Amino acid sequence: MPLLLEIKDLVTVFDTVRGRIKAVDGVSLKVNSGETLGIVGESGCGKTMLSLSIMRLVPANGRIINGEILFSGSDLLKLSEDEMRGRRGSEISMIFQEPMTSLNPVFRVGEQIAEAIRLHQNLPAKKAMELSVELLSEVGITDPQKRARDYPHNLSGGMRQRVMIAMAMSCHPRLLLADEPTTALDVTIQAQILDLISELKQKNDMAVVLITHDLGVIAQAAEKVAVMYAGKIVESASVEAMFANPLHPYTQGLLESVPARCVESSERGKYLKTIPGSVPDLYDVSSGCRFYERCSYAVEECAQKEPTLSEIEPGHFVSCRKYGGKKNN
């Protein structure tokens, strides 16, 4: 599969009254056409800020100070704002975490989808509305003509998320960024949404970056996975390799804290394992490994020297002292 998106050493910072924080700190990733990359980690690890950086929608007090975001070989960071606006929606789309706050409450959902179509395809209003109804049908909404006239508050959470997917797919993008697309949905609707994204991906030969804290979602929907911690990628591999042989202590802790894994193992009946502590304050990160204070394998060297992301086996990278320091070239 051809390479579609390549991120090189991306750094996104925020300057506040307390000082500067690096929400995204030296992240490098690759996504091929037609594949799904899952990005997983606790809240506050920088997953959403990474996706907003790709879209160049970083909040006003933040900015990208280093790196490249190569989309089909073109660096998005070098585009003018008008050029980038033309890419958003038409070639790169995003499904945001909470559709109720992403949809405009005073406009009907059909009008909101039609606006995106008119903006990027230069179609008359009537044709754009017809296409918006077709899109609502395509994402599995029954009686789409009626639903197109509804306001967001008239719809359930699952239906609002389908509207967001319809809007994101309105111009057949080549890359879809999905930020926690199943948050606050029950498991049945969650599975339907993931199946829908997978179906649309295959139909449109689209790449997907799926951001979540749920490893079950990653197992169901992704081919590759990157684990983020405190703004950095600490491990990346195929989904099969990651679940079969997690290397980083943080990844191991995430997998051990999944209830289903404990039920299926000889540990049945015992307490669920947890990762002690919490994600460090990004205002005061140490010069060493950021997982140092929570890691049961940590030694003094871990607090003094930050590990490099090393390729331990083909396609499997990890940032941990236990596995040496060969750099990712």
Task: Name the band, by pLDDT with cuts 50, 70 and 90, for residue 325.
Answer: very low
- Do 237 and 138 share a domain, yes or no? no
Task: Name the band, by pLDDT with cuts 50, 70 and 90, for residue 182.
Answer: confident
Average pLDDT taken over every residue of the chain:
90
- Do 54 and 124 share a domain, yes or no? no
From 45-59, 61-75, 158-172, 177-191, the region with the lowest mean pLDDT: 177-191
pLDDT greater at residue 257 or residue 131 = 131
- Do 9 and 48 share a domain, yes or no? yes
Domain of residue 273, residue span:
3-91+173-323
Q: What is the pLDDT of residues 74-123, one digit of tens each?
A: 999 999 999 999 899 889 999 987 777 889 999 999 999 999 899 888 88
- Do 110 and 216 share a domain, yes or no? no
- Do 110 and 225 share a domain, yes or no? no
Report if residue 278 sits inside a domain.
yes
- The pLDDT of residue 324 is 65
- Do 61 and 185 share a domain, yes or no? yes
From 65-79, 95-109, 158-172, the region with the lowest mean pLDDT: 95-109
- Do 165 and 186 share a domain, yes or no? no
- Of 146, 171, 196, which marks where a domain is finished? 171
Is pLDDT of 135 > 50?
yes
Task: Name the band, by pLDDT with cuts 50, 70 and 90, for residue 256.
Answer: confident
- The three-class DSSP label of residue 309 is coil
Q: What is the pLDDT of residues 274-310, one digit of tens each?
A: 888 888 888 877 788 999 989 988 888 898 888 999 9
Report if residue 99 sits inside a domain.
no
Q: What's the CATH number where 281 sits?
A: 3.40.50.300
Report if residue 269 sits inside a domain.
yes
Is pLDDT of 271 > 50?
yes
- The pLDDT of residue 53 is 97
Give pTM, 2 decimals. Answer: 0.90
- Do 161 and 244 share a domain, yes or no? no
In this structure, is the dihedral angle defined by the CA atoms of residues 180, 182, 186 and 191, taken in order, positive or negative?
Answer: negative
- Of 171, 196, 216, which marks where a domain is finished? 171
Q: Which of 29, 38, 22 has its CA nearest to residue 3?
A: 29
Domains: count for the chain: 2
- Do 137 and 228 share a domain, yes or no? no
Tokens (6 digits) for 127: 């044709």
Report if residue 97 sits inside a domain.
no
User: Which whole-number Å values give the CA distances from 171 to 117, 255, 313, in the listed order?
Assistant: 7, 37, 39
- Do 113 and 222 share a domain, yes or no? no
- Do 82 and 178 share a domain, yes or no? yes
Q: Which long-range contacts (CB under 8 A, 24 or more apart) does 223-226 make?
A: 223/35, 223/36, 223/37, 224/35, 224/36, 224/37, 224/38, 225/37, 225/38, 225/39, 225/40, 226/29, 226/37, 226/38, 226/39, 226/40
Report if residue 329 sits inside a domain.
no
Is pLDDT of 329 > 80?
no
| Range 219-232 average pLDDT | 95
- Do 116 and 255 share a domain, yes or no? no
